[in-house]
Structure 1
Amino acid sequence: MMASANLDLPLALMSLHIESPLAPHGLLFVATDVDAADEADFNRWYDREHVEERVRIPGFLSGARYQSRDGGRKHLGLYRTCSLDAFTSSAYRAAFERQTAWSVTNLGRMRDPMRRVCAVEAVTGFGSGSQLVVLPLAADGAGAPLARARNAGAELSGADGFVQSYLLVPDAALSTPLPREATEGRVLAPMFVVEASTPAAAAALRAGAAAAFDADPSAAWQFELGWKLDASDLR
């Protein structure tokens, strides 16, 4: 019987995700605040209509809702797609052309929203964590810091509670603003994301990620998962 080649690889290397030469996954990143008076209906809309509506679009893999533990907007929605092509499809365009009245109302309630359609690059690890660290990086026009993100992921992957890290690189053409999103001085900066299993692990990884990019840890945002819907869950 032929032995598996992987038997000679260190376990730490086997656990790392090796990036495919194919087009990277896409991700829609939507963060916002909402007035306290509107929050109950906003959450009801998001949980009962909006996430499912988006995940049913062909090419979408999952939708997840998070709430801030420290920093950033209070609400965060992440939608994974097979590729950036999902955001140029006729089905995705139709979702905007046929907004429900409930959607129109709640999109109008978003305060200081932030919408980014991103390529998911420099992936290390796999799986989903209940905790999320988002570190906005400088948009200096020098291109996405892919090598630095890969190195940071490799350094952080040995820490307790590390699940996955990746770099989000916004696509300027696809990242059109939401109705109430400010357009003056709008910067489409890359973001380094770390997913972790516990709040304590996320706090430590937040500090580690900031150190890897010579950033202030307070500049990173920490979120907690509320719930997630996979396309495979839908019938």
Structure 2
Amino acid sequence: MTHPHGMLFVATNIAAEDEADFNQWYDHEHVEERVAIGGFLSGTRYQALDAERKYLGLYETTSLETFTSADYYAAFTRQTAWSVKNLDRMINPMRRVCAITHQQGKGSGSHLAVLTLQAGMNSAALSAWQQRVQQTPGLIASRVLTPDTTLSTPLPRENAEHRPMHPMLLLSCSDAQVCQTLAASAAQALTAQAQFYALSWQLTKQEMAHG
């Protein structure tokens, strides 16, 4: 049996006076620490173009089981002081551990649309929409993230009382206008709301191996 890949989705805002240190921490410690964990494949940062939260981090893993491993658990028992400080600075953060399904295409484009779908999404309608648009020039990949309620424990400053676990459709594109057009189409077809991000940078496990 093939298990779906996993995805850690972390979005947050940060106070203007803390942004420089927050980005230094993310770019020079946090992403590398996470990608070094067994089962992690990549860590990718995005910055909002039109979204509720300014910063988004996506970490792909070989499976959801990565998030129950001893290696992953150990990462939380040896947090650096820099990590503790910046995790506590996050404003209105959102953490979801998700299974990746409905994958169409491969790779990461320069622009990303994140569409929040309705609970109990219509899988047939989603698949039909993906088939209809899969050859659209500028569309790199589309996939659905389905949060795991048990694994999606909250961040230190996350609202623990209101944490809806809606599936999300991610559209990765090489062009901003294509991303907006496809997101509008998906929003209409699937009754969804879209937010937009631009790629900042990515680190892969293969790149980690180069030292």
Fold match, TM over 0.5?
yes
Q: 1:28-67 maps to which residues of 2 (within 5 A)?
A: 28-67=8-47
Kindly provide the CA deviation profile for residues 117-175 of structure 1, in whole angstroms up to 9, marking residues without a partner as x.
00000111111111110001122xx4x54333322221221222011001100001100
> 1:137 aligns to what?
117
What's the counterpart of residue 61 of structure 2? Answer: 81
CA-CA distance at 1:231 after TM superposition: 0.3
Q: Distance in 1 between matches of 2:31 and 2:58?
A: 10
1:227 paired residue number? 201
% identical aligned pairs: 52
Alignment of 1:106 with 2:80, yes or no, is no
Which residue pairs with 2:137 in the alignment? 160
Deviation at 1:203, TM superposition (A): 1.1
Contact 1:149-1:166 at 8 Å conserved across structures: no
Cα distance, 1:41 vs structure 2: 0.2
Name the SS of the counterpart of 1:182 in structure 2: coil
Counterpart for residue 117 of structure 1: 97
Maintained 8 Å contact 2:111/2:174: yes
**Aligned partner (choices 172, 177, 185) of residue 208 of structure 1:** 185
Deviations 1:80-103 (A, max 9, x none): 000001100001000011100000
Q: Which runs of 5+ in 2 are unaligned?
A: none
Residues 156 and 209, structure 1, Cα contact 8 Å, conserved in 2: no
- CA distance in 2 between partners of 1:61 and 1:146 (Å): 27
- Larger deviation, residues 200-209 vs 45-54: 200-209
CA distance in 2, matches of 1:128, 1:135: 16
Aligned to 1:128: 108
Per-residue CA deviation, residues 10-46 of structure 1 (Å, 9 max, x unaligned), is xxxxxxxxxxx51100000000000000000000000
Alpha-carbon separation, structure 2, partners of 1:145 and 1:64: 28
Cα RMSD after superposing both structures: 1.1
TM-score, normalised to structure 2, is 0.96
Aligned equivalents of 2:168, 2:41: Cα separation in 1: 21
The CA deviation at 1:58 is 0.5
Larger Rg: 1
Which consecutive segments of 4 or more residues in structure 1 shift more than 3 A? Answer: none
The structure 2 residue matched to 1:176, chosen from 150, 153, 163, is: 153
